[in-house]
Structure 1
């Protein structure tokens, strides 16, 4: 899933682009001749907005046509052009990163990894599934421990769940820790608001995306390989409606990821109901333990995690609980180098940035991160034969141990879950990197472009003053780069859209290339049996090169289209849904 941002609270911490952004800027900057432009419809009062907008479009359609075209272009194309062509006198300060911005970047990287996983699994399923060193394995570079992590969809889903447990609880926990009468007044509205918005935030984008899939598939049939196409639109929408109700039946069909009800119109949305179910769990725990001593709260949450883990085998609920515990820990023991008041005033041992303790902390966090990445690369099958995984396979608890002859999926999610927790904890408590100024300026961290308006957030990802790279925790740097932050912004959209783009674009290329690869393998076997090993090797190599070339040439346009669609979906739909959920809460709540 984004998730699991997406995807789950796949993309709630940050928003970069206002959907009306391009249209407003075009109206202000389009006329280079100095002539007065038409009045902007966004500046009119609500009573006259629609007639004025229609009249302006009819009188002078060019600005609106241009603004529409710019809006439909991806922001990674338009925004650099805007920045480059902006007048020299105009200065727009780029907003800086908040204390949990690195989690957005990590979530974005995880969403991209999910796309890589599903796309490469289609073409190279045996390589993706088999463990390095297992009998019959191809033993490629991509099967090596740690390397495998960067193509593991299971690891990304575990990462989504830990991040979600953290970001949807940190704001409420921060209020609890402040204490005092004002804190008591803010606590319940904050928790209620987060809980109220959560189902809209998770399900509405999923419903919109599957509705679009249903309509497009019925008219054009481009998703027929994964979605059933019915003879008329009414039948298609009726089927979509029933499947949507099935997806919303969170507490019946989606108890754990085992035997989960996979949505027909987008199979990758199986994580969304699990995200909501476990969001309800952590919100309930926040409410139950809001007024108790904090050690009792942590022990209670840990007890719940232990119970669901070892009695139900529900690793997903446990990961949410651990995300909540980690959020509590960052408030009790503020990490050094984090942006925010807590770390700035901390006088604990963790606040030291020099001496032996500083280097010991680097060693512990880096070692933990490496171990976490190793465990997150746990193979999907033949793991008991894989180097570096035999011991933890033997340590797998009973609820996760596979039945004889079955695929060891339980062992996989157990080990990968531990790895995700280790890695995120290591990044959280990583010591800041100290680099000379002439080196640190070459690391492009920060929010891409100059977007300052953010969407709704239940996390603590607030904008702060500029933070130098020397103050950024070392292990968080890859997740605070501009590319990672962009991925974090589109992570939910990327998660929602990637399966449909693969079906519409990539599957056709795969089904064309696969028969040729199979024929090449058969020819190589025949040549081998006829005593021509050299010719067999040459035939196999030629077939493999052609198959790999088809994969690469299919990947490039598909990935570009995926980013384009995800970017537009994030601005046109996802950002507006965030605004809608906030508006609904404002209208629904009592004073």
Structure 2
């Protein structure tokens, strides 16, 4: 799921530049055209805006999935040790997870943003600066183009201070730790804060009985929900889903049965249908439009159910619910699991973090150069604009995947190994 979500998240930032070019892009108050729902206005009837279909390019639902999966992955082993009452192993695991988390999350972005600094000093970003700010081409979202400062020393110091502020743990301001060298990385500080909260909570509930632990988590999650901390709520949801899977032995190998006993039951067939339907419902909820939800047919009633006290982005509400339900459905669906265990999806899972880190720099350099040439070939009038955008994607997307693969092999994998090595050098040997 992480690989699939990572690919969609990366593609979404390219798409928001102009895939759905419509007259509505000038409607600033209601957001860019691709963010609006199907039928929210007389000209918003493009089939790409239909529920589920829009998930192939809509970024925010992928972010919600990231957070649920992160909560699940970070808490699965600690919860497994808790349930086996291996508290010594639990203490060691929690210490290791907490110690290595900052290295795992922040060292790769330090390398990727330093790469941006080098490209800035080489003048590569200047080749596309005019194009990056030209509304004739950027008809949806104009992403900030990193600024080239007067001297290299000034640039490096600016980057270093930006990285210092990037470790943003003292407030919940969403973009508080965002770096101008790659605005897409705003989720890294969020991931770090939520990880620390998750670790603290896991330690707090470790010795509770299972029933009491679930009741405690219900109270914590209710408090988190009422305070509109949707990102932390998703992390906690992943933790709860992980324990539910442990209880039912979801990841335990099934006992070998004689061939005659491997019968196909109506009960399992019905269960498969139910979870398939719930996964479809989950994808519909994740398809909540990012803009003009209350004007979108089929969403007016659901949007009216969002509490009036909810001041966060409205689209996070049902997208978060859909992400939780989707992970739950996949954990009960062998068909979905087979899909996510296929070789291509597993590969994208491995490079997903690297793709997240490099897609911005690649898009702002190579991507913009390719797009400019594509538009020169197709023109930008009417649907020729869309055709030029799609044409450029045949080069831009593979370029992002290639860069992600290189970054994964040269930076991401060594970072994981370095974190483990560094920990072994620092811990007290018994």
- TM-score in same-fold range (> 0.5): yes
* Partner residue, 2:7: 112
> Deviation string for 1:172-201 (max 9, x for gaps)?
11111122xxx2321100111111111100
2:212 to 292, 296, 301: 296
Q: Which residues of 2 match residues 71-470 of structure 1 at below 5 A? A: 106-124=1-19, 126-179=32-85, 183-222=86-125, 224=129, 225=132, 226-252=145-171, 255-257=172-174, 260-310=176-226, 312-335=227-250, 338=251, 340-341=252-253, 344=255, 354-400=264-310, 410-430=313-333
Q: Is the 1:215–1:233 Cα contact (8 Å) retained in structure 2?
A: no
Change (3 A) 1:507 1:353: farther
Query: Which TM-score applies when normalising by structure 1?
Result: 0.64
Rounded Cα–Cα distance in structure 2 between residues aligned with 1:553 and 1:513: 7
Aligned 8 A contact 1:142 1:148 in 2: yes
1:500 matched to 2:403: no
Alignment partners' CA distance in 1, 2:176 and 2:268: 45
- C-alpha separation in 1, matches of 2:209 and 2:298: 41
Q: What is the match of residue 25 of structure 2?
A: none
Return 5+ residue gaps in structure 1 as ranges.
1-105, 346-351, 402-408, 431-472, 521-542
- Worse-superposed segment, 156-165 or 189-198: 189-198
Deviates more, 1:153-162 or 1:409-418: 409-418
Question: What is the CA–CA distance in structure 2 between the aligned matches of 1:132 and 1:516, rounded to whole Å?
Answer: 30
Root-mean-square deviation (CA, aligned residues, Å) is 2.3
Shift of 1:544: 2.8
Q: Indicate the SS of the match to 1:227.
A: coil
Partners of 1:355 and 1:580 in 2: CA distance: 49
Q: Could you tell me whether the CA contact under 8 Å between 2:358 and 2:404 is conserved in 1?
A: yes
Which sits farther off after the overlay, 205-214 or 550-559? 550-559
Structure-1 separation of matches of 2:309 and 2:274:
30
In structure 2, the partner of 1:58 is none
Aligned to 1:449: none
1:497-576 matches, cutoff 5 A? 497-508=358-369, 510=371, 543-576=381-414
- Judged with a 3 Å threshold, the aligned counterparts in structure 2 of structure 1 residues 391 and 564 are, in CA distance, closer, same or farther, namely same
Q: In 1, distance between residues paired with 2:173 and 2:69?
A: 18
Question: Quick check: 221-230 or 266-275, which moved more?
Answer: 221-230
Q: 2:352 aligns with which of 471, 491, 501?
A: 491
2:417 is matched with 579
How many angstroms apart in 2 are the aligned matches of 1:549 and 1:196?
48
What is the CA–CA distance in structure 2 between the aligned matches of 1:121 and 1:573, rounded to whole Å? 28
- Cα distance in structure 2, aligned partners of 1:113 and 1:475: 17
- Indicate yes or no: 2:338 matched with 1:477: yes
Give the TM-score taking structure 2 as reference length: 0.87
1:288 positional shift: 0.8
Alpha-carbon shift at residue 151 of structure 1 (Å): 1.3
Q: Deviations over 1:305-359 (max 9, x none)?
A: 211111x211000000000000011111233xx4x34x549xxxxxx97433212
Deviation at 1:549, TM superposition (A): 2.9
Change over 3 Å in CA distance of 1:399–1:124 after alignment to 2: farther
Aligned residue number for residue 435 of structure 1: none
**Of 480-489 and 224-233, the range deviating more from structure 2:** 224-233
Q: Is the 8 A contact 1:369 1:426 kept in 2?
A: yes
> For the residues of structure 1 that align with 2:52 and 2:5, how far apart are their CA atoms?
14
Over 3 Å counting, the alpha-carbon distance change for 1:515 and 1:569 in structure 2 is closer
Q: Is the 8 A contact 2:288 2:319 kept in 1?
A: yes
- How many equivalent residue pairs? 398
Secondary structure of the structure 2 residue equivalent to 1:124? coil
Q: How far apart are the structure 2 equivalents of 1:216 and 1:516? A: 27
Larger radius of gyration: 1
| Mapped partners of 1:137, 1:313: distance in 2 | 33
Q: Look up the match of 1:97.
A: none
CA distance in 2, matches of 1:128, 1:494: 22
